[in-house]
Chains A and B, each alone.
Chain A
Amino acid sequence: MMYGWTGTALRINLTTRQIMKEPLREEWAHEYIGGRGLGARYLLAEVDPTINPFSPDNKMMIVTGPLTGTNASCGSRYMVITKGPLTNAITTSNSGGTWGPELKAAGYDMLILEGRASSPCYLWIYNDQVEIRDAGHLWGKTVWETEEQLKTEVGVPDAIIASIGPAGEKLVRFACIMNDLHRAAGRSGVGAVMGSKNLKAVVVRGTGGVRLADPKTYMEAQWAMKIKLRESPVTSQGLPIYGTEVLVNVINEHGALPTRNHQETVFEHAEAISGETLTDTRLVSNKACFSCTIACGRVATLPGDAAGKYAVTTHPHNWNIAGEGPEYEAAWAMGSECGVGDLDALIKANWLCNELGMDAISFGATVAAAMELYEKGAVPLAEAGIPLNFGSGEALIAMAEKVAYREGFGTELAEGSKRMTEKFGRPELFMGVRGQEFAAYEARAIQGMGLGYATSNRGACHLKAYTVAAEILGLPRQMDPRATEGKAELTKVFQDATATVDATGLCQFLTFGIGLEEILPQLSAATGVTYTIEDLMKIGERIWNLERLWNERSGMTGKEDTLPNRILAEPIPSGPAKGQVNRLGEMLPEYYQLRGWDTDGKITEEKLKELGLA
């Protein structure tokens, strides 16, 4: 009997329609914990890294952690690990809400999805009953329509749904998997992989529970963690009151809010799209994921005229009621990166992204790149269809629908900004790494983030090593964002620790208030496996190297550990960080050395042996 983990994996081959329940690989569970780690281990064992991400041979590992579904604060997460069509790298797309816990309650730690269905289908998992059902009538429907219809169709209102929207069906390279209407396994195009498998949705209802190895110790540990979260100003006030959007003004004041496709780093309308403005004018309530005691989720509304301000062809019935978002990253990508200072446009575009099932970060950043192409004359008006000027809320909203349905110029954006800028002869305007667009922190103003972006296994990402915590927020200690000293070590430690948190089933936002020291006793008491802090850091390092190894086998090398020329060579033109570039070259060799890789960034045999990966 396993504790924490259910001990069962559900393997579904969509080609052969075979459904198999198999025991979880217990030794892998111990070595990789769950979520991101366990999924990567299964992927390494089962999927050829050189395949086309849309090939039926690609598999999707949808994995919870041992603390998913427990009452540990923020124990709601599931991870999607597959080969991503945006990056051709391993994905680590993470989502909260209630779907992951429901899958555990149904009795499974993970889903392994293989093959490709001959026609659209969905999965209906009701505890141990698993069916592949026809979804022909759902194909083309939005995420919100799909959820509503499926709850009625399966006849179980408590069922929880993870699905794709039109973007996933149309293989938009940054399509998401959405659950609970507004929660997304967002980045790298995992929704498009699901679409390529003709899988519309996974509907789950579980009535079982998560068992603990040592309930008494576990309960003491989780109380201790909750008290710490209550004492931290970030997790008890900043995030619940303003959401992640609290960062807009903070980052802007540091001159680190990328603006107009990274041409500038200060946004003149930051206040208008900030968490403070959202809270004061558009917020209905904050909302928590399963078991979350922080509740950073935003539920916003578009009152009166605001709801009708931008015309859309899809007409959700709840435009003028309430929906979630925007979060900081989305508000940045669609806001300052596109020069759009109208909060209502962002709320509406964010809902469209959720409803149509695409990553609001990559979508916004790709629109920004398209705007620069347009303004620089690389894309004429006849091609674009509509004027794509920076600052145009109309263009943003219109493109959301065009991209998701691949209509007109939208089909170029649907390929992501790397492919789009290459096609129009301006590859230098792509702002990202490994094909994935940057997140909302300017790497020229925050040096550590540059190293983090450049070395992130899933392409540019803020969630792999959030050095902003140290460099801007002073957590756990303040470091100078302009200095490169110490950033290699900081990045490595954050990468490893974050990988471990991602494996447990907990949300990273916990780490604003607590560390691995607080997670450790819960994890050990829940699973009955005695871990030490050193074990947890080693596990994180193992996960990081495994992901890197998988990417190496797909053909990637250290050459991809770089940043766009704009970030490396064009000094910031104005604002508090004026004159700076990212000095990646000062950090990368030290980073490779700390990682135990060779000078080209290749993982050494010794390192693989040390981590048990050889």
Chain B
Amino acid sequence: MKQLRIIPDKCTSCLQCELACSFVQTGTFQPSRSLIRVYVFDEQASYAPYTCFQCSEAWCMTACPVNAIALDPATGAKVIMDNVCVGCAVCTIACPYGTVFYNPDTHKAVKCDLCGGDPACVKACPTDAIEYVEMEQPDWLTSWAQRVDERFHTMQEGGH
């Protein structure tokens, strides 16, 4: 199944992904409503786009008291059903990655649904730092964390 693969080393922090996502959500350019966020680590010159990677544990689904989160069989995305969601926000707490958000305007939870299989962030990224590709296990998070960890330690020791 296709997954989002994010390659932080290619990211320039231009925020085109946030702009594209917020346009899908709201029809305006409103990064505060984006479901993908670019984390900027200035001193490490490291920029990491970050969103739900549709993990198999899906604690958001498990936690939802009204079963408002369903698995989209076509994409594997965990999708919030607006008409069922009561806005209790338990899913936003249950997610260990902080990628489920609460929309204060609609009083509903909101998360990445892979745009139904055609993610806008992927199209918008000018440096191909976000790909939508066939993958077994999304392992970019672990390997990226390891690399940042190593780089940070090297820098702390005064090297480059």
Q: Answer whether residue B67 sits at the interface, using C-beta atoms and an 8 A cutoff.
A: no
How many B residues, CB 8 Å from partner? 30
- Within residues 35 to 54 of chain B, which ones have a CB less than 8 A from any CB in chain A? 42-47
| Given contact pairs A70-B19, A293-B126, A303-B160, A285 touches B28 in the complex (Cβ within 8 A) | no
Q: Answer whether residue B114 sits at the interface, using C-beta atoms and an 8 A cutoff.
A: no
Q: Which residues of A contact B19 (CB under 8 A)?
A: 70-71, 291
Q: Which of B20, B22, B160 is close to A209, meaning CB atoms less than 8 Å apart?
A: B22
* 0/1 interface trace, chain A 78-101, chain B, CB 8 Å (1 if under): 000000000000000000001001
- Contact across chains for A287 and B30 when beta carbons are under 8 A apart: no
- Contact across chains for B30 and A291 when beta carbons are under 8 A apart: no
- Contact across chains for B14 and A304 when beta carbons are under 8 A apart: no
Distance in Å from the Cβ of A277 to the closest Cβ of chain B? 15
A210 to B15, CA, bound (A): 15
Q: Answer whether residue A105 sits at the interface, using C-beta atoms and an 8 A cutoff.
A: yes
- Contact across chains for A295 and B12 when beta carbons are under 8 A apart: yes
- Contact across chains for A304 and B158 when beta carbons are under 8 A apart: yes
- Within residues 193 to 210 of chain A, which ones have a CB less than 8 A from any CB in chain B? 206-210
Q: Answer whether residue B16 sits at the interface, using C-beta atoms and an 8 A cutoff.
A: yes
Q: Which residues of B contact A98 (CB under 8 A)?
A: 15
Q: Answer whether residue A290 sits at the interface, using C-beta atoms and an 8 A cutoff.
A: yes
- Contact across chains for A288 and B12 when beta carbons are under 8 A apart: yes
A105 to B30, CA, bound (A): 7
Q: Answer whether residue A484 sits at the interface, using C-beta atoms and an 8 A cutoff.
A: no
Q: Answer whether residue B71 sits at the interface, using C-beta atoms and an 8 A cutoff.
A: no
Q: Answer whether residue B32 sits at the interface, using C-beta atoms and an 8 A cutoff.
A: yes
A466 to B127, CA, bound (A): 28
- Contact across chains for A212 and B28 when beta carbons are under 8 A apart: yes
A105 to B19, CA, bound (A): 12
Q: Which residue of A lies closest to B127 (CB)?
A: A295
- Contact across chains for B45 and A207 when beta carbons are under 8 A apart: no
A284 to B9, CA, bound (A): 10
- Contact across chains for B12 and A320 when beta carbons are under 8 A apart: no
- Contact across chains for B42 and A181 when beta carbons are under 8 A apart: yes
Q: Answer whether residue B87 sits at the interface, using C-beta atoms and an 8 A cutoff.
A: no
Q: Answer whether residue B101 sits at the interface, using C-beta atoms and an 8 A cutoff.
A: no
Q: Which residues of A contact B28 (CB under 8 A)?
A: 209-212
Q: Answer whether residue B159 sits at the interface, using C-beta atoms and an 8 A cutoff.
A: yes
| Given contact pairs A71-B20, A211-B28, A230-B126, A304 touches B159 in the complex (Cβ within 8 A) | yes
- Contact across chains for A290 and B14 when beta carbons are under 8 A apart: yes
- Within residues 32 to 55 of chain A, which ones have a CB less than 8 A from any CB in chain B? none
Q: Which residues of B contact A290 (CB under 8 A)?
A: 14-15
| Given contact pairs A209-B28, A209-B30, A211-B28, A321 touches B43 in the complex (Cβ within 8 A) | yes
Q: Which residues of A contact B47 (CB under 8 A)?
A: 285, 287
- Contact across chains for B29 and A209 when beta carbons are under 8 A apart: yes
| Given contact pairs A226-B126, A304-B158, A320-B158, A299 touches B45 in the complex (Cβ within 8 A) | yes
Q: Which residue of B lies closest to A306 (CB)?
A: B160
Q: Which residues of B contact A292 (CB under 8 A)?
A: 12, 14
- Contact across chains for B45 and A322 when beta carbons are under 8 A apart: yes
Q: Which residues of B contact A307 (CB under 8 A)?
A: 158
Q: Which residues of A contact B32 (CB under 8 A)?
A: 105, 206-209
Q: Answer whether residue B132 sits at the interface, using C-beta atoms and an 8 A cutoff.
A: no
Q: Which of B22, B31, B43, B158 is close to A322, meaning CB atoms less than 8 Å apart?
A: B43
Q: Answer whether residue B23 sits at the interface, using C-beta atoms and an 8 A cutoff.
A: yes
Q: Answer whether residue B85 sits at the interface, using C-beta atoms and an 8 A cutoff.
A: no
- Contact across chains for A69 and B29 when beta carbons are under 8 A apart: yes
- Contact across chains for B16 and A291 when beta carbons are under 8 A apart: yes
Distance in Å from the Cβ of A160 to the closest Cβ of chain B? 11
Q: Which residue of A lies closest to B28 (CB)?
A: A209
Q: Which residues of A contact B127 (CB under 8 A)?
A: 295
Q: Answer whether residue A152 sits at the interface, using C-beta atoms and an 8 A cutoff.
A: no
| Given contact pairs A71-B16, A209-B22, A304-B158, A322 touches B29 in the complex (Cβ within 8 A) | no
Q: Answer whether residue A301 sits at the interface, using C-beta atoms and an 8 A cutoff.
A: yes
How many A residues, CB 8 Å from partner? 40
Q: Which residue of A lies closest to B155 (CB)?
A: A321
Distance in Å from the Cβ of A155 to the closest Cβ of chain B? 16
Q: Answer whether residue B124 sits at the interface, using C-beta atoms and an 8 A cutoff.
A: yes
Q: Which residues of B contact A293 (CB under 8 A)?
A: 14, 16, 126
A259 to B124, CA, bound (A): 42
| Given contact pairs A71-B20, A291-B15, A320-B155, A209 touches B45 in the complex (Cβ within 8 A) | no
Q: Which of A211, A285, A295 is close to B14, meaning CB atoms less than 8 Å apart?
A: A295
| Given contact pairs A209-B33, A226-B126, A304-B159, A287 touches B12 in the complex (Cβ within 8 A) | yes
A251 to B27, CA, bound (A): 45
A38 to B139, CA, bound (A): 49
Most buried by B among A207, A210, A226, A321: A321
Most buried by A among B22, B47, B126: B126
Q: Which residue of A lies closest to B152 (CB)?
A: A321
- Contact across chains for A318 and B30 when beta carbons are under 8 A apart: no
A322 to B43, CA, bound (A): 5
Q: Which residues of A contact B30 (CB under 8 A)?
A: 105, 207-210
- Contact across chains for A304 and B160 when beta carbons are under 8 A apart: yes
* 0/1 interface trace, chain B 130-160, chain A, CB 8 Å (1 if under): 0000000000000000000000000100111
Q: Answer whether residue B26 sits at the interface, using C-beta atoms and an 8 A cutoff.
A: yes
* 0/1 interface trace, chain A 302-321, chain B, CB 8 Å (1 if under): 01100100000000001011
Distance in Å from the Cβ of B39 to the closest Cβ of chain A? 11
Q: Which residues of A contact B160 (CB under 8 A)?
A: 284, 301, 303-304
Q: Which residue of A lies closest to B31 (CB)?
A: A105
Q: Which residues of A contact B15 (CB under 8 A)?
A: 98, 288, 290-291
CB within 8 Å of A: which residues of B? 12-16, 19-20, 22-23, 26-33, 42-47, 124, 126-127, 155, 158-160
The 10 tightest CB contacts between A and B, nearest first, are A209-B30, A209-B28, A288-B14, A293-B126, A71-B19, A303-B160, A295-B12, A207-B32, A288-B12, A299-B45
With A71-B20, A292-B12, A301-B45 already in contact, 12 other A-B pairs whose C-beta atoms are closer than 8 Å? A181-B42, A206-B32, A209-B22, A209-B30, A285-B47, A287-B13, A287-B47, A290-B14, A291-B16, A303-B160, A304-B158, A322-B43
5 contacts between A and B (CB under 8 A): A105-B30, A181-B42, A211-B28, A295-B126, A299-B45
